[in-house]
Amino acid sequence: MTGPRPACILTDIEGTTSAIAFVKETLFPFATAELDAFLDANGGEPEVAAIMAEVAAAAPGEDPRAALRRWMAEDAKVTPLKALQGLIWDAGYRDGRLKGHLWPDVAPCLRAWARAGLRLAVYSSGSVGAQKLLFGHSEAGDLTGLFAGFFDTKVGGKRDAASYATIAAGLHLPPGEVLFLSDVAEELDAAAAAGMATCQLVRAADGTRPFGRHAEEADFPGVARRFRLPNPG
Ligand SMILES: CSCCC(=O)C(=O)COP(=O)(O)O
Ligand SMILES: [Mg+2]
């Protein structure tokens, strides 16, 4: 980066802090397997009923449970699906069946950056509730206290520049003072269009391909070196 050191690091989750395989092979199948039992037990709860009303509105003429299953099969980033998945994962995190995966380089850097006074925030398609569960029950302990903000698709889609402008405003920062980390080029393009600094995480273990349109690093210590952030080592 040619500008000053960022004041805030905004990070994606899947493919950036956490393995794609953890999301696709552990979290998503858990929610799929538990969907019917969860809805049978909790469908009358106002929060769940409101989500199901949103599902019905987003998929008119389709059985809401069938729409949810279709979206899960398509990995659709639909806000009511994401909200429901978060509620289903809650029980799994609390009783120990789920533990939030983080790549080993992530927690030491997040702690070092927060200690140095940098603000940290998350922007994921996963709901804010799901983000707090993952970082609150992570393999590195409860990291939720490190973050100044959590943002999900209620601010808008991750490929839409307006979402990043909304997040910067929510953090009371000019976009130019925020560095966005993600594995997905279209998300980085949108953040850059809003004026944020960007870096693609190209994690070999996830099979991520470098896109060549943004700064690229293999891990968080690489991000720290490139953007002159503190490094734990
Ligand atoms: C909050 S953990 C679950 C992540 C998730 O549901 C998802 O769709 C991944 O989205 P991301 O924006 O983190 O790539
Ligand atoms: Mg991602």
Domains, in order of start, for the chain: 8-18+100-226 (3.40.50.1000), 23-94 (1.10.720)
Tokens of 183: 């594995």
Q: Which two tokens stand for residue 165?
A: 């402008």
pLDDT > 70? residue 10: yes
- Looking at every residue in the chain, the average pLDDT score rounds to 97
* Structure confidence by residue, pLDDT tens digits, 124-173: 999 999 999 999 999 999 999 999 999 999 999 999 999 999 999 999 99
The pTM score is 0.95
DSSP string, 103-161: -TTHHHHHHHHHHTT-EEEEE-SS-HHHHHHHHHTBTTB--GGG-SEEE-GGG--TT-H
Instruction: Return the pLDDT at 3.
Output: 56
Rg (CA), the chain: 18
Please write the tens of the pLDDT for every residue from 40-88: 999 999 999 999 999 999 999 999 999 999 999 999 999 999 999 999 9
- List all residues whose CB is within 6 A of at least one atom of ligand 1: 12-15, 23, 27, 77, 82, 85, 124-126, 130-131, 134, 158
Nearest CA to ligand 1 atom 5: 126
Q: How many angstroms separate the alpha carbon of residue 101 from the centre of ligand 1? A: 12
Residue type at 196 in one-letter notation: M
Which residues have a beta carbon within 5 Å of ligand 2, which is an ion? 12, 14-15, 183
pLDDT at 228: 96
